[in-house]
Chains A and B, each alone.
Chain A
Amino acid sequence: MSALGFGASYRAGFHDHVVSAGERSLRAAYELGRLAVGRGLSLLDLAEVHHEALWSEIRLEGVDAEAVVRAAGEFFLESVSAYEMVRRGFEEARQTALLQGSHLDMLRQLSDFLADTSLVSDAPGSLEEVMRLIAEHARELIGARLCVVSLTDDGRPLRASSYSPDDDDQTGKLEADHLSAVASFPNAPEERIRAALSSLDGKELGSLELFDKEDGFTAVDKATLVHLSQVASAAVERLRLHMTGYPGD
């Protein structure tokens, strides 16, 4: 059906609705909208076709203009319902694309993280360096204001943290507030998420904690943190093995 043919069908369908409004004529409007979507007519094209149909109906002699306008509203609403399905599909696809984009970002940052940790040697202070890397990457990846990495090294507690550059002016306060919050409210779920750092044999090496995210942490953030803690645990354990010598060396 050509654009002209579609216009004629729409006018005929609309005329039927004006003369005898009911579910049958509304169904015809829905079918016309579906056909328009299938033929690639834009919503603007459909609006134009509708306007032409309304105009041809309203200029007829002796017509009840109010009734025609009311009928036009019903008919148009029904015909654009197919466009609403398409619009929602587009929105869903856009959300999926955004999610895929953030997954790609996450993979890229995890890859950067692995590359960075592999550069750290067994020089003195390298464990602290890896901890700082973990804190920086975790905070940036999840978009939190603060990340604290805690480890125990030969019974000696080690801690590294990373702050958002936006919080320069209140860094000290933030650290004090949040580290005390960790001690006082270990399960405060709204402002803090935590994942354990564990060795391959299941022994807890320490923890990775994130504080304060604008709009709060999401389920995806929690899953990302768990994934990151696994990668970080492997990096820490590999470095320790490297520093102490592999069994059998």
Chain B
Amino acid sequence: MGDDIIVSIHSDQDMVVARAQSRSLADSLGFSRTEATLIATAVSEIARNILMHAGRGEISMRPLREDVRCGLIVVAQDSGPGIRDVSRAVESGFASTGGLGLGLPGARRLMDEFEIESEPSEGTTVTMTKWRMRDDLERLRERRLRRAVDPGP
């Protein structure tokens, strides 16, 4: 997991670092400015969730590369009190978001994949992924670059 970027979340300032790292990674993976903003927003929401409910935790992120798509996976972990009812926590109207659809439900809607594992008193792990489809030209260029670096036998 050499590509992993890990940010400890202890304070508001750490949220800024996590946002910056996610934006930079999204940018390097070719996400548009709008998509990078949405990713940074989703990361902010889960960082806020850690600070609000657990006090401290960690956010790690890494790139995902496949033939037809590339993406960014973000994993947020804390050892806080956990979530009693996970399915309710990702629905709008849950108490901590005031029913506005921000917080975890908001983060879920901004990303393509979203999963929560949580046990009372054992903490919470949120895993979320955003994908970007790669067009034919981009894949062709990559193949040519690979051939240039390693022409083969």
A residues sitting closer than 8 Å to B (CB atoms) are 22-24, 26-27, 30, 34, 37-38, 77-78, 81-82, 84-86, 88-90, 92-93
Contacts and interface: CB of A to CB of B under 8 A. Distances in A.
Q: Is the interface of A mostly helix, strand, loop or mixed?
A: helix
B44 A89 contact: no
A34 B23 CA distance: 19
B15 A82 contact: no
A23 B16 contact: yes
Given A23-B23, A77-B37, A86 B100 contact: yes
Interface residues of B toward A: which range? 20 to 34
Contacts, number: 66
26 contacts: A23-B17, A23-B19, A24-B16, A26-B19, A26-B40, A27-B16, A30-B41, A38-B100, A77-B37, A78-B40, A78-B41, A81-B41, A82-B102, A84-B38, A84-B41, A85-B107, A85-B110, A86-B100, A86-B101, A86-B106, A88-B101, A88-B106, A88-B110, A89-B109, A90-B101, A92-B109
Given A85-B101, A89-B101, A27 B23 contact: no
B87 interface: no
Nearest to B109: A88
Given A30-B41, A78-B37, A85 B16 contact: no
Contact of A38 (B20, B34, B45, B98): B98
The 10 closest A-B CB pairs, nearest first, are A89-B101, A85-B106, A88-B109, A23-B20, A81-B41, A89-B92, A27-B16, A23-B16, A86-B101, A24-B16
Given A38-B98, A85-B102, 12 more contacts: A24-B16, A26-B19, A27-B44, A30-B40, A37-B102, A77-B34, A81-B37, A82-B41, A86-B100, A86-B106, A89-B92, A89-B106
Interface string B1-39: 000000000000001110110010000000001100110
Contacts of B15: 27
B19 A81 contact: no
B109 to A, nearest CB: 4
B105 interface: yes
B11 to A, nearest CB: 12
Contact of B102 (A24, A34, A92): A34
Given A30-B44, A93-B92, A81 B101 contact: no
